[in-house]
């Protein structure tokens, strides 16, 4: 019985050692040589500046939802659709990559 426990223990140890070797030799552990984000936890994918999100600056607009909605309504329909798409697909999925003002601008009605 103790021989089978020893064999099982050695097999588990060999598996863990093999896993450690494989993970140490993976490209991801060799430094960040990628030129783009690899995950949502990538340190290179920090918050975006407000003007980079939509291509215009939101700093001159007051922070209240009514002002943000009025500014959005003043834009042409193509730009409004682009904002809706960006909000739905980018900002809705990774909201904390964007400032609170950008998030408020997206959801202002």
**How far apart are the C-alpha atoms of 95 and 75, rounded to whole Å?**
23
pTM value is: 0.56
Q: What's the pLDDT score for residue 27?
A: 47
Predicted pLDDT at 78: 96
Q: What is the pLDDT of residue 13?
A: 52
For residues 109 and 66, the model is more confident at 66
Instruction: Assess whether pLDDT exceeds 60 at residue 42.
Output: no
Residue 45 predicted with pLDDT over 70: no
Quote the DSSP letter at residue 30: S
């Amino acid at each position: 019985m103790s021989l089978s426990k020893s064999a099982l223990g050695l097999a588990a140890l060999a598996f863990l050692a093999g896993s450690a070797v494989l993970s140490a030799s993976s490209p991801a552990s060799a430094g960040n040589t990628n030129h783009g984000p690899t995950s949502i936890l990538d340190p290179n994918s920090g918050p975006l500046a407000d003007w980079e999100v939509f291509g215009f600056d939101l700093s001159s607009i007051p922070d209240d939802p009514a002002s943000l909605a009025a500014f959005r309504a003043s834009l042409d329909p193509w730009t409004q659709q682009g904002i809706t798409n960006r909000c739905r697909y980018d900002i809705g999925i990774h909201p904390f990559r964007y400032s609170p003002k950008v998030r408020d601008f997206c959801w202002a009605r």
